[in-house]
Structure 1
Amino acid sequence: MSKPVSRRRVFYIPGYDPIHPRRYRELYRKEGAAQAALSGYDIDLKPQDKSGKAKRYGWHVTGDIEGVRTETDFEVLVWSDIVRDSMEQGIAATYAQLVRTAWTYIASGALLRLMRLRKGPVIAALYPVGFLLVQLALALAAAGGLAQLLALVHPWAAWGGIIIIPFLLNWFRKKDNKFFAYYLMHDYAYSARYRGANPPELEARMAEFADEIAQALQGDSDEVLVVGHSSGAHLGVSILADLVRAGKVPRDGPTLSFLSLGQVVPMVSFLRDAWRLRADLAYLSARDELTWVDVSAPGDGCAFALCDPVAVSGVAPENKRWPLVLSAAFTQTLSPARWKELRWKFFRLHFQYLCAFDQPGDYDYFRITAGPQRLNERYRDRQPSKSRITSPVNRYTSVTR
C-alpha cells in the first residue's frame, strides 16, 4: 500500500448548469460539515489561496480523516458561461428547439433505445416537451376564451384574443425556476443540435481544462482527482482521453483518478454524430494510466443509473477495464425519513452524490475528496454492482467520422 494522501488536487466538472460555481463551494461546505458530524471526522473549508497555481474558482479543504491530515485544493472547471449563452433563446426559438430535438431523438431511434436502459431519464427528457406543449395549449385555450368574449362586442374584436398568448407564455417562462421546462429543453437541445458532437466553443474550453489538469499532474500532489457530475461526466471522459493520448500522464507523477457521478452519457453517445465521445469511451475504458469509478443510484431519475456507459454505448473493447460501476443505493444510505423527504424531489436527488448520507456505505464523497485514500485504493477489492446494465443497445457504434 502506498503512503496516505497528504496533498490532493480535485477538478470538478459540473453538468449543464448556468449557476455561479460558488453554489458548489457552499454545497460542499454545508454537506461536508453534516457528513463529518455524522461520520465522526473533521473537515475544514477555507477560501482558495489566490497566490497559488489555481486559475479558476475553488476552495481549500483540510481533512482529518482516519487519523490522517490531508490538504485538498478544489477547482471548478467552469463552463456555465457557455451554458448561459446557449439558454439565451426567445420563446419562439425554444419551441423550434423542441421540434428539432424531439425529431433528432425520435427519428434516429435513440429515444426507444434509451428507454430500454432506464425510463426515468427518458421521462425527464420528455417532461420539458410535454410541459411546454401544455403551456402552449393553455395559452391557446385562454386566447380562444377571450376571443369569444370580445366577439360579443364586435365580430372583428375576436381577433384581439391572440394578444394574450405571448403574455401567458412569457409568464410561464418567468416561473421556470419552479417548472424547469425551459432549462431542461435547452439542456437536451444543446446535445441534440450537433447530434452528439461537441460545439466548437465547448471543444475549446475542454482543451483549456485538459491543459490545467496536465499542469497539475506535473505538480507535487499525491492524487489528481477529476470529478464529473451529470453532463460533466462525458466531458471528463473526453478530456482525460485527450490527456492520455497526448502522453501527458507521467508514470512517476500523481495518481490520476476519475469519479463520474449521476452520468447521462447515453443521452449523447446514442446520437449519430457522437463519434468523438464513443471513441473516447472505448479508449479510456482500457487504459491503465488512471482509475475510473462510476457512481449512480436507481433512485436518481435523472441519471442512467448503473448503466455501464461504455458497454451500453456498444463500444466496449475486449480489454475493457473501466469504469467500475457502483451504486450509491439511496434507499439504503439515506434514512427512511430522509428518503421519504427527498424521493420525489428529482433535481435534488440528482445532486445527492455531492451531499451527506445518513448511513453511508462505501461511497462517501467527502472521504474520497478530502480523505487519505486514493480512489484506486479505496475500491481496489470492490466488485461492480450486480444490478449494473451492460447490454449494448446503441444503434450508432462508429468511433470515426
Structure 2
Amino acid sequence: MNDQAGQQVARRRVFYIPGYDPFPPRRYRELYRSEGAAQAKISGYNIEITGDPGAKTFGWDVVGHMDGAQTRARIDVLVWSDIVLGSMDQGIVATYRQLLRTAWIYIASGALFRLMRLRKGPVIAALYPVVMLLAQLGVALAVARGVGAVLGLTGLPWVGWLGLAAVWPVLRWFRARDGRLFAWYLMHDYAHSAAFWGAYPPEIESRMAQFRAQIAQALQSDVDEVLVIGHSSGAYLAVSILADLLRDGRGAGPALALLTLGQVIPMVSFLPNANRLRADLNFLAGRDDLTWVDVTAPGDGCTFALCDPVAVTGVAPADQRGPLVLSAAFTQTLSPERWAALRWRFFRLHFQYLCAFDRPGDYDYFRITAGPVTLGARFAGRAPSKSAVSLPVSRYRTMAA
C-alpha cells in the first residue's frame, strides 16, 4: 500500500497488550529492536530505539525516519505476566484437575464443537495439551507398571504396588522439559481463559482498570495518535479495555486505533458467561471514533484466521463499522526460504506479526507503530480480505446490560 502524502503523526503513544505470556516484558523490547532493525534494512527506512529509565511503566522510545518524515513514539507494554505466572503456579495434580475441568467447560457448553466450525488450527492447538498431558500420564503409568513388575519378582505381593511411586518423578520430568513441548503451558493458558466460563477473573478486571487509566491519560496528552495493540489473548483484553474507556466518553483528542493481532477471541466469546466480552465486541464494532484493524494469517495455526470476531460471535450491530479483517498472508509476505524455515515452528509463527517480513505487503508492524501515518489513514478504503469469515456461529449471544 502506498503511504498517504504528508505527515499525519509526529508523536504517537502505543500500548501493547501481550497474550498469556509468563516472560518479562523486556523480551518485547528486544524483539522490537532486532526485528525493527531487520525490517528497516529490508524496507529502506530507519528506526532508532532508546530506553526511558525514568518512566513509571515498562517501554521504550522510538524515532522513525520514513517517507521523508520523522515520527516519535512511546511504546509501553501493559504487563500482566505476574498474573500469568501466578496462574501457572500449579502442582501436577492441580494441572490434571484443570485439564478435566477445562475440557468439561468447552464440551458441556458446546463451544468446542462450534469453534471447530470456524478454524481447526486453534482447536487442535487447544486439544494438543490435553492429548499430550494424557499421553505423558500414560507413559508414567507404564513406567510405574514396569517398576512394579520388577519389584514383584521379590515374591512379596504388596511390593509391586510401590511401582506407583514412579508416576510422580516421570511427570515432574516431563514438566521440567515443557520449554520444548509447551503442553503444560498451554493447559494453564486455556484453563485460565475458561476458568469462569467466559467471564473475566477478578484479578484481570482489576489489571484492565489500571491499563484503561494509562490509556485515558495518554488520550489527554499532546500526541497525534493513541494506538492500542492486543496480541493473541491480549486481543480480547484490549477490546474490553477500550469499550470501557469509550463508554466513559473521552471527548476530543488524538486519533484512537485498535490493532488486534493473531486473536483468539472466539475461545472466550463463545463461552456462556462471556456476556461482558460480547457486549464489548458489539459496542466497539459500531463506533465511528475508533479505527479497528484485525490482522491474522491462515499460516498461523494458533489464531482464528480471518474470522471477524464480532460477526462469528453473533453480536454484530446493524451498523457494524469494524473490525477491518486483513490477512498477513505469510505465504506471500515471507520468501519461500523463510516460510519453509518457519512453517512448522507454530509458536514462532504466532509472533510473526511483531517481526520483520522479507517480502512485506501493506501490513508492516514498524511502519504502523513508528511511521508518519495513522492506522485509519493507512488502511482507508481497504476492503476486508476475500476469505474473511463473518457467519454467526456462537451458540451464546447474550450481552451484559
- SS of the residue corresponding to residue 149 of structure 1 reads helix
The 1:219/1:95 distance shift into structure 2, 3 A limit, reads same
Deviation at 1:32, TM superposition (A): 0.1
Which residue does the alignment assign to 2:260? 260
- SS of the residue corresponding to residue 72 of structure 2 reads strand
CA distance in 2, matches of 1:369, 1:132: 39
- SS of the residue corresponding to residue 158 of structure 2 reads helix
Which residue does the alignment assign to 1:383? 383
CA distance in 2, matches of 1:317, 1:374: 25
CA distance in 1, matches of 2:62, 2:52: 9
Which residue does the alignment assign to 2:67? 66
Match of 1:44 among 41, 48, 54: 48
Which residue does the alignment assign to 2:396? 396
Deviation at 1:265, TM superposition (A): 0.1
CA distance in 2, matches of 1:240, 1:55: 21
Which amino acid is 2:83 matched to?
A: I
The 1:22/1:356 distance shift into structure 2, 3 A limit, reads same
Deviation at 1:21, TM superposition (A): 0.2
Match of 2:15 among 11, 15, 19: 11
1:4·1:68 contact (CA, 8 Å) conserved in 2?
no
Deviation at 1:3, TM superposition (A): 4.4
Deviation at 1:168, TM superposition (A): 0.2
CA distance in 2, matches of 1:211, 1:156: 63
Deviation at 1:191, TM superposition (A): 1.4
Which residue does the alignment assign to 2:35? 31
1:48·1:73 contact (CA, 8 Å) conserved in 2?
no
Which residue does the alignment assign to 1:135? 136
- SS of the residue corresponding to residue 23 of structure 1 reads helix
- SS of the residue corresponding to residue 206 of structure 2 reads helix
Which residue does the alignment assign to 1:244? 246
- SS of the residue corresponding to residue 340 of structure 1 reads helix
Q: Deviations over 1:345-386 (max 9, x none)?
A: 000000000000011110000000000000000000211001
Which amino acid is 1:106 matched to?
A: I
Which residue does the alignment assign to 2:329? 329
- SS of the residue corresponding to residue 280 of structure 1 reads helix
Give the TM-score taking structure 1 as reference length.
0.97
CA distance in 2, matches of 1:67, 1:101: 52
2:19·2:233 contact (CA, 8 Å) conserved in 1?
yes
Deviation at 1:400, TM superposition (A): 2.6
Which amino acid is 1:316 matched to?
A: A
CA distance in 1, matches of 2:56, 2:333: 36
Which residue does the alignment assign to 1:93? 94
Which amino acid is 1:171 matched to?
A: W
Q: Deviations over 1:119-167 (max 9, x none)?
A: 0000000000000000000000111111111111132221111111000
CA distance in 1, matches of 2:270, 2:335: 36
CA distance in 2, matches of 1:311, 1:49: 43
Structure 1 unaligned segments of length 5 or more: list them.
none
- SS of the residue corresponding to residue 287 of structure 1 reads coil
- SS of the residue corresponding to residue 98 of structure 1 reads helix
Q: Deviations over 1:273-310 (max 9, x none)?
A: 00000000000000012100000000000000000000
Which residue does the alignment assign to 1:308? 308
Which amino acid is 1:229 matched to?
A: H
2:7·2:69 contact (CA, 8 Å) conserved in 1?
no
Which residue does the alignment assign to 2:360? 360
1:285·1:322 contact (CA, 8 Å) conserved in 2?
yes
Deviating above 4 A after TM superposition, structure 1's stretches of 4 or more consecutive aligned residues are: none
- SS of the residue corresponding to residue 161 of structure 1 reads helix
The 1:371/1:233 distance shift into structure 2, 3 A limit, reads same
Which residue does the alignment assign to 2:186? 184
CA RMSD of aligned residues (A): 1.0
1:297·1:330 contact (CA, 8 Å) conserved in 2?
yes
Which residue does the alignment assign to 2:25? 21
- SS of the residue corresponding to residue 213 of structure 1 reads helix
Deviates more, 1:58-67 or 1:146-155: 146-155
- SS of the residue corresponding to residue 337 of structure 1 reads helix
Which amino acid is 1:165 matched to?
A: V
Deviation at 1:5, TM superposition (A): 0.8
CA distance in 1, matches of 2:150, 2:365: 59
1:87·1:183 contact (CA, 8 Å) conserved in 2?
yes
Deviation at 1:4, TM superposition (A): 2.2
- Summarize the alignment of residues 194-213 of structure 1 with structure 2, pairs less than 5 Å apart: 194-213=196-215
Aligned residue pairs, count: 396
Are residues 1:221 and 2:223 paired? yes
CA distance in 2, matches of 1:27, 1:48: 17
CA distance in 1, matches of 2:158, 2:376: 74
1:244·1:289 contact (CA, 8 Å) conserved in 2?
no
Using the aligned pairs only, state the percent identity. 66
CA distance in 2, matches of 1:37, 1:400: 48
- SS of the residue corresponding to residue 301 of structure 1 reads coil
Deviation at 1:107, TM superposition (A): 1.0
Which amino acid is 2:285 matched to?
A: S
- Summarize the alignment of residues 273-292 of structure 1 with structure 2, pairs less than 5 Å apart: 273-292=273-292
1:8·1:71 contact (CA, 8 Å) conserved in 2?
yes
- SS of the residue corresponding to residue 244 of structure 1 reads helix
Give the TM-score taking structure 2 as reference length.
0.97
- Summarize the alignment of residues 161-172 of structure 1 with structure 2, pairs less than 5 Å apart: 161-172=163-174
